[in-house]
A = this chain, B = another copy of it.
């Protein structure tokens, strides 16, 4: 199917608001474009995690500058704080967090299942207690859809059960079956309510929160410190107060027929046969994109790779394929080479906060005393704003002194490294040199 799509526009037949086009292939890898109600995403793409409507420590204009085209938000966290009602009243997540580009929300399933002692699962759904205050809550497929529709991400995820690892075949199959039933319920609710996103109908395709153009050809609002009126700094002229941030309808042309898109999730544990069955039956239900869930749950990395590779065979080539919660820089390159289009992971941002930095020469633990007087940049091959300006000595000092700026700069660098890695993967696919690029990544020093 990929071949027939290579030179033509392969629009998604199910959801008009999500268009996926494969532009080039190299082996199993593909480079494509995903058009969402909030702009275009070049795939393969790495999605930084903005748990509670913020990529920890990084202002939105810097994310734009880094070339982030889509962010991931966590439904569980956003549901607890600030709450879906608040986000909906504020016009949805994009507007609430002033992020004009695309957003994907997970279903809350993974976080809820991570609560362990605090949850109770039934066919109907999951009862769980908040990690914040112990209060009791209930997520069902329908409720997870209702919440995600209220948050208003461009891509939302079916409510699934993330099967624990290890699990025997009986347990894995039962869990997979429930995920399939929940997928049907998710889709049914979604189809009936998909026009209810806070922004649905206002149609701000490719337009920034305040009327600035966004997308690959633009760095978007605030990237250069400007706003639509061209102001850069200084107080407003007196007598011209601004009562509120402009609403969507004030600043964007109306484009109709824009809705969210719902992706299905393949489960099936570490059993290739169950994964195949889960994939086939999820595809039968029919979604505009498919995720492989239930990985990175403690299994060996070689097994992760095997499951991804074998599951991909059973997913339609003309739909975006998303592997949830992976991985290291080497892994995301590997998975892209297998034909994965979308990935997300807290690793670059969480590691940054612990002083663990990814570079072209391998990992750097910036807290080490050996960097205390190291005048060199963090990564001599990196052109990010951190590597261009600051020395390892300064980054080490900030970390050792527990300065907040350490977290900000470390996160900016790690995200830049991940996004640059993905840009290079994409470029190598376009050149048909994926396998050569992959070997160069595999041969990176492991300090």
Which residue numbers of A lie inside 8 Å of B, CB to CB?
Answer: 52-61, 65-67, 81-82, 86, 89-91, 96-98, 209-210, 221-225, 227, 231-236, 238, 241-245, 360, 372-373, 375-377, 380-385, 388-391, 393-394, 397-398, 400-401, 403-405, 407-409, 412, 416, 420, 423-424
Is there an interface contact between A385 and B86, defined as CB atoms closer than 8 Å?
Answer: no
- Residues of chain B lying within 8 A (CB to CB) of residue A58: 405
Is there an interface contact between A245 and B377, defined as CB atoms closer than 8 Å?
Answer: yes
| Complex Cα spacing A375 to B209, Å | 13
Q: Please pick, from B61, B90, B390, B412, the residue contacting A98 in the complex, using a CB distance under 8 A.
A: B390
- Residues of chain B lying within 8 A (CB to CB) of residue A82: 372, 393, 397, 400-401
Q: Please pick, from B210, B360, B424, the residue contacting A389 in the complex, using a CB distance under 8 A.
A: B210
A404-B96 contact given A245-B377, A380-B241, CB 8 Å threshold: no
A213 CB to closest chain B CB (Å) equals 15
Is there an interface contact between B389 and A98, defined as CB atoms closer than 8 Å?
Answer: yes
Is there an interface contact between B66 and A373, defined as CB atoms closer than 8 Å?
Answer: no
| Complex Cα spacing A170 to B384, Å | 59
Judged by DSSP, the binding face of A is: loop
| Complex Cα spacing A383 to B389, Å | 27
Is there an interface contact between B377 and A244, defined as CB atoms closer than 8 Å?
Answer: yes
A96-B244 contact given A66-B233, A405-B59, CB 8 Å threshold: no
A234-B420 contact given A400-B81, A401-B81, A407-B404, CB 8 Å threshold: yes
A245-B376 contact given A233-B65, A381-B236, A397-B82, CB 8 Å threshold: yes
Q: How many chain copies does the complex carry?
A: 2
| Contacts A82-B401, A244-B391, A245-B377 known; 10 new A-B pairs at CB < 8 A | A53-B398, A59-B412, A61-B385, A81-B400, A96-B397, A98-B390, A233-B383, A242-B377, A243-B376, A404-B408
Is there an interface contact between B236 and A383, defined as CB atoms closer than 8 Å?
Answer: yes
Which chain B residue lies CB-closest to A398?
Answer: B54
Is there an interface contact between B389 and A235, defined as CB atoms closer than 8 Å?
Answer: no
- Residues of chain B lying within 8 A (CB to CB) of residue A221: 389
Is there an interface contact between A234 and B56, defined as CB atoms closer than 8 Å?
Answer: no
Q: Please pick, from B81, B89, B376, B382, the residue contacting A235 in the complex, using a CB distance under 8 A.
A: B382
Q: Please pick, from B67, B223, B233, B383, the residue contacting A67 in the complex, using a CB distance under 8 A.
A: B233
Closest 8 CB pairs between A and B?
Answer: A57-B404, A241-B380, A244-B376, A82-B397, A54-B405, A242-B380, A98-B389, A231-B383
Is there an interface contact between B403 and A54, defined as CB atoms closer than 8 Å?
Answer: yes
Is there an interface contact between B56 and A405, defined as CB atoms closer than 8 Å?
Answer: yes
Q: Please pick, from B52, B67, B210, the residue contacting A403 in the complex, using a CB distance under 8 A.
A: B52
5 contacts between A and B (CB under 8 A): A55-B405, A60-B389, A221-B389, A233-B420, A245-B376
A61 CB to closest chain B CB (Å) equals 7
A264 CB to closest chain B CB (Å) equals 30
- Residues of chain B lying within 8 A (CB to CB) of residue A360: 235
A57-B408 contact given A81-B401, A245-B376, CB 8 Å threshold: yes
- Residues of chain B lying within 8 A (CB to CB) of residue A238: 381
Is there an interface contact between B394 and A227, defined as CB atoms closer than 8 Å?
Answer: no
- Residues of chain B lying within 8 A (CB to CB) of residue A235: 360, 381-383, 420, 424
| Complex Cα spacing A55 to B82, Å | 29
- Residues of chain B lying within 8 A (CB to CB) of residue A423: 234
Chain B CB count within 10 A is highest, among A90, A235, A236, for A235
Chain B CB count within 10 A is highest, among A241, A397, A416, for A397
- Residues of chain B lying within 8 A (CB to CB) of residue A223: 225
Is there an interface contact between B384 and A233, defined as CB atoms closer than 8 Å?
Answer: yes
A401-B244 contact given A233-B420, A420-B233, CB 8 Å threshold: no
A240 CB to closest chain B CB (Å) equals 8
Which chain B residue lies CB-closest to A77?
Answer: B401
| Complex Cα spacing A60 to B380, Å | 20
- Residues of chain B lying within 8 A (CB to CB) of residue A397: 52-53, 81-82, 86, 96
| Complex Cα spacing A232 to B394, Å | 22
A131 CB to closest chain B CB (Å) equals 13
| Complex Cα spacing A236 to B361, Å | 13
